[in-house]
Chain A
Amino acid sequence: MNEMKPTSLTIYDLDALQNQYIMESYWSGALVINLALIEEFDSAGLQWLTLVKKNQQARGHSLTLSDVGDDLKNAMALLGMHSLLGVAHVN
């Protein structure tokens, strides 16, 4: 199983994250993205997570998000992506 552990999920990080995903994880099946270290994120970052999820699913693989902080969960719910990402709605 492959794991990614980004520290930031903003539009400025997308180039690097996308590269890492395509180079290291695209072909390796189940993927875990650990979000414990995330300090900053934005809509573009959350959209990227959702795109990766969709891509994994379309190819019969999985994406599991782990250590999702409350701030992130709230933001996912605000953007209506929580159910797509399989993250439970807080509050």
Chain B
Amino acid sequence: MSIDPVIIFKEEAYEHLENLENALLVLEESPRDAEQIAAAFRAMHTIKGSAGMVGFDHLSYFTHHIESFFERVRSGELMLNDEHIRATLLAKDHIELLLEKTPPSKESMAVSETLIQQFRRWADLPTEGSPAKSTAATSANTETEQRILKITIKPSKECFKDGFDLLPVMRELSALGSCHSSAHFNKTLTFDSADDYRDIDIFDCHFFLTVLLATEASQSSIDDVFLFVADDWSISTEELDPDEAYRLGDLLLAEGAINQQQLDSILQQQPKLGEVLSGSGAAAQEDVEQALEQQKFLRSQQETQQSRSVPSIKVPQPKLDALMDKVGELVTLQSFLEQKARELNDEGLNTIAETLMQLSSDLRETVFDIRMLPIGTLFGRFRRVVRDLSHELGKNIQFVTEGAETELDKVMLDKLGDPLIHLLRNSLDHGIEKPEQRAANGKPEQATITLSAAHNQGQILIKVKDDGAGINTQKVRQKAIEKGLISATDELTENQIHQLIFEAGFSTADKVSDVSGRGVGMDVVRTSIDSLQGKVHIKSDAGLGTEIQILLPMTLAIIDGLLVNVAGESFVIPLNIVNECIETYASEKCVERDTTLVKHRGALVPCVSLRKMFSLAGTAPAIEQSVIVKVGEETGAITVDEVVGQFQTVIKSLGQLYRGVSGVMGATVLGDGSIAMVLDVSELLESIQS
């Protein structure tokens, strides 16, 4: 039970390769030996099947083609020749290589393709692309608006005899939303005499179901429920109009319990339709009762739906982006109007500028709001990862999410998925101890991982928290010294040491573990969060657990910035990292190990001169301005000629030409049409530290 399937698979694969080789040796002499051809086919067939199941996808793909070739040889459509046998021996060696090296290198994948080409040509199969066909489709569960569906399920008559039970299918279907079923028994069943009853084959299925399902699930997840029965059962789905009042008569008509004529004549008699219908004998009492229940269910669903849904329209994202762009331009222009108004000191103009500012900032908020999605849309995906991984790792974990309703810019949300999964995997793999170990340490066997999101002072705070072992400070320190990140003599606080795990190239896992991503460390997480203008911080208590905090801005598209000037060029510093501006005299600066330092509140902070950094012309004025910035735990100064002032700005991504320029994250168009670079301050600070 506890033996790694991969090890079993490899042993088995080598055994099959040996069988293949033996078969090939015989086939060289007698190429028509059916037994040996079957053996060769079986070897490829089995390796292909097992490989895909233990994660050797490329190997599975490769052997699939050799197998197809031998399939044709086996069926007598192809006759083996020496060339075929030589190539198969090569393929056998190649499989051995693929068994040892996962994931396969680019070179070995190229070798695979060359061999595959050859075998395909011989087998005379049209060239095709990917192996994707071989995996059963796992349908994407895209969630949609809630709909009310009426699903009619007519099982095959023999379904019970075939071993199909409706209950598992119905359980799965009912998990997709709230549901109400009615069974409709075959009207041809009669119970008039004992013989009638005895004639009923109780092993046949004598009813069909109508299921009303109020669900947000997509059609594909509904189809998925009927995966195995779709061929033999009749399944039809109809979307019900949520606004329609489903009258009893209509429901009965839809079930075929009465016909239109009967309904019309009864409707003319008016009140208490239910009683009239059953009283008149037009519909059986049980049908009326079931229809009444359906009606009750529909009404309750309609009520809940109406109470929470307001009419909405779908808009393609590019249109929203365009709107955002325009609002951005308006915001920029408004900043300059405000500046001009102040310069002209015209009261009337000032009033207009202020009103416009209020208006454009309201407009900005509204547009932001439209682009926002609740972070909960990501949580579902995580839940599954945690569940699968905890099984895989044999850990008992309770996954708690909080603040699913917290909204984030959609663009950010898309980029947040991978780093968060990485953090969760890390927690699961390295943070959480095995249940035995937890019990031994007096902790509950079930560990808890909490993923929470919340608004925090105009920013979004996301936390991934576990009650695992915490970070082994000594180990991290040791590793950081080995990697040359710190020197053995550096005096660091425990907290400072913990942050080191985010440094490039750092990985705490002693062995490269498949789970937390093939040895890729937390630096990837930091890089992703950096690119979102966010900050990441870790807190850990040995034995008690670890908490990772991610602080993100509300949006990427518009930021509040500080406009500065150097040598006539404009730059923008994101305002959320600016602490204050100070004047710096050339004489106050000192240089230590190639780094310029300025004095700030009694301490020396490293300082970047934009003039030097971007090789701008001219000489610095005697009194420069230094903008004190704080990125994460790092404080630094950016020295400029002049600080112009605050304004809101729209970031545009840079063209290909500037993409490689370090220290710049984007550009913005100023009111006068000129362009200002938006500085990537964390990159700037890194550049002076290295």
Contacts and interface: CB of A to CB of B under 8 A. Distances in A.
Interface of A: 11, 14, 18, 22, 26, 42-44, 47-48, 50-51, 54-55, 57-59, 75, 77-81, 83-84
Interface stretch (B191-199, B407-415, B518-526): B191-199
Interface string B138-177: 0000000000000000000000110001110011001000
A79 B166 contact: yes
Interface residues of B, number: 35
Contact of B181 (A11, A50, A55, A77): A77
B166 A43 contact: yes
Interface string B181-194: 11111000111101
Interface stretch (B84-92, B204-212, B317-325, B528-536): B204-212
Given A51-B189, A55-B191, 5 more contacts: A42-B167, A43-B166, A43-B205, A58-B190, A80-B182
B167 A14 contact: no
Contacts of B596: none
Contacts of B205: 43-44, 47
A56 to B, nearest CB: 9
B165 A58 contact: no
Interchain residue pairs A-B with the least CB separation, the first 4: A80-B181, A58-B191, A80-B183, A80-B182
A68 B190 CA distance: 27
B206 A51 contact: yes
Given A80-B210, A83-B286, A43 B160 contact: yes
A54 B181 contact: no
Given A43-B166, A79-B183, A83-B289, A59 B191 contact: yes
Name the residue in A22, A58, A80 with the highest tally of chain B Cβ atoms < 10 Å from its Cβ.
A80
B166 A18 contact: no
A79 B193 CA distance: 27
Contacts of B305: none
Contacts of B182: 80, 83
Given A78-B170, A80-B209, A44 B286 contact: no
Contacts of A18: 202
Given A54-B189, A83-B290, A78 B197 contact: no
B192 A81 contact: no
A55 B209 contact: no
B352 interface: no
A90 to B, nearest CB: 13
A24 to B, nearest CB: 14
B170 A26 contact: no
B453 to A, nearest CB: 31
B171 A44 contact: no
Given A43-B167, A83-B290, A84-B286, A50 B209 contact: no
Nearest to A17: B202
A42 B165 contact: yes
A84 to B, nearest CB: 6
Contact of A47 (B181, B206, B210): B206
A44 B192 CA distance: 22
A80 B290 contact: yes
B401 to A, nearest CB: 24
Nearest to A48: B202
Contact of B203 (A44, A50, A59, A79): A44
7 contacts: A26-B197, A47-B202, A51-B189, A55-B191, A79-B167, A80-B184, A83-B290
B388 to A, nearest CB: 27
Interface in B227-279: none
A26 to B, nearest CB: 6
B209 A79 contact: yes
Contacts of A55: 191, 197
A3 to B, nearest CB: 20
A78 B161 CA distance: 20
B181 A79 contact: yes
Contacts of A51: 189, 197, 200, 202, 206
Contacts of B190: 58
